Amino acid sequence: MKEIILKPGKEKALLNHHHWIFSGAIASSPSYENGEVLAVRSFKQTLLGHAYFNKKSSIIGRMISFGDALPEEAIRRSLENAFRLRSEWFKNKETTAYRLVNGEGDQLPGLVVDLYADVLVIQIATLGMEKLKPLIIEELKRLVNPKTIYEKSLLPSRKEEGLEPFQGLLEGDSLHEIAILENGLKFSVAPEHGQKTGFFLDHREMRQQIRLLSAGKRVLNCFSYTGGFSIYAAVGGAISVDSVDISDKAIEEAKINMGLNSKAACKCKFYCEDVFDFLRRSALDYDILILDPPAFAKKKHDQVAACRAYKDINRIAMQKMPKGSLLLTSSCSYHVDEELFQKVIFQACEEAKRSARIIGRHQLAPDHPINLAHPEGDYLKSLLLYIS
């Protein structure tokens, strides 16, 4: 097999099982096709593992095996380990939708696989993983035996990798709306036209926390999408739940999901409008307010504008919220890390002339593991604030 040789000292991250290789770390390289898997050696010729490479990408190589493990064997083992972890964690069947593969967190960079009941939805971000797709599909069929495998690979990163966006059926029956359970609650998921792969699985633990806090409370869910936080609040005993999203399709699906849960017997209102406009025109007389916007920073150069948007939307909310109310504010922008996000929220609080205390932080969903050697995988952060 062809080999990449790293510069002296550049092997340390890989020895610690970090997956990324940048072009500046490479001492010598053979001729290869983009997406090809190559052996990776230190400057002293120690075999570090195998990675797929793409000269078009800013991250030129991504490790799929470490040490002397063969690439295909390592991929099979990584998929088996991912499947075993979820099978153990979700064996009570109260939750039938979860992330089966979480990229580098499961030793499979460039690959996300979400399970919705008997349907797998996969997302491929890199050319190297695209070339490994036949092996991935074969193993997923063996491990899960799904009724359907659907691909929804619409990520902006594919352009840099030289890949076109792709969405379509790979295996099995045609795709329709899927009935799932999450912590015993019912949802209808539509991967074909929904955001991400159809549902925001990464906020499961935070939705459960809102459920526990909502008894007797008035709740506002901003950027409500298909109503995840809203349903949890209603089932948790809220006296009223208002949901706001700019998408009329999302609002209609949120209404359907609310109707699926008979225990959600509270006063519910749905508003199809821009969240910024809603916050500006409303009194915000709520006990719990949830701000879970889409990523404001999709690229590094969006960071400044994103921080301004996070500050503005939180400031508007804080200015009007009653004393003693709770604000759950979140960011899924990879380019705004936890420390920066907290500074932005502090600035929003100062400008709103309010006092706020942190009483909770984001609780990671166990099906979204983060490799300790790869902290870049930690993209989602939340702060639960007591406003006074």
* Helices 303-320 and 338-351: angle between axes, nearest 10 degrees: 40
Give backbone dihedrals phi and psi of 56, rounded to 5 degrees, phi first: -80, -20
Q: What is the dihedral of CA 268, 273, 279, 285, to 10 degrees?
A: -10
**pLDDT tens, 144-172?**
999 999 999 999 889 999 999 999 999 99
Pairing mode, strands 119-124 and 148-153: parallel
Looking at domain 3-69, which of 2.30.130.10, 3.50.50.60, 3.40.190.10, 2.40.170.20 is its CATH number?
A: 2.30.130.10
* Pairwise CA distance, residues 377 & 370, whole Å: 6
- In this predicted structure, what is the pLDDT of residue 264? 66
CATH topology (fold) of 200-387: Rossmann fold (3.40.50)
DSSP label at residue 296: S
- In this predicted structure, what is the pLDDT of residue 174? 84
pLDDT means over runs of 10, the chain (388 residues): 96 96 97 98 97 96 97 98 96 95 98 97 98 98 97 93 96 90 96 90 97 98 97 96 96 96 85 97 97 84 89 97 97 90 96 97 96 92 97
Q: What is the dihedral of CA 144, 146, 148, 154, to 10 degrees?
A: -20
Pairing mode, strands 47-53 and 240-245: unpaired
* Pairwise CA distance, residues 357 & 354, whole Å: 10
3-state secondary structure 41-56: ECCCCCEEEEEEECCC
Query: Where are the CATH 2.30.130.10 domain residues in the chain?
Result: 3-69
* Pairwise CA distance, residues 27 & 136, whole Å: 31
- In this predicted structure, what is the pLDDT of residue 211? 97
- In this predicted structure, what is the pLDDT of residue 149? 97
CATH topology (fold) of 72-179: Transcription Regulator spoIIAA (3.30.750)
- In this predicted structure, what is the pLDDT of residue 299? 76
Count of other CB atoms within 10 angstroms of residue 338: 16
Query: Where are the CATH 3.40.50.150 domain residues in the chain?
Result: 200-387
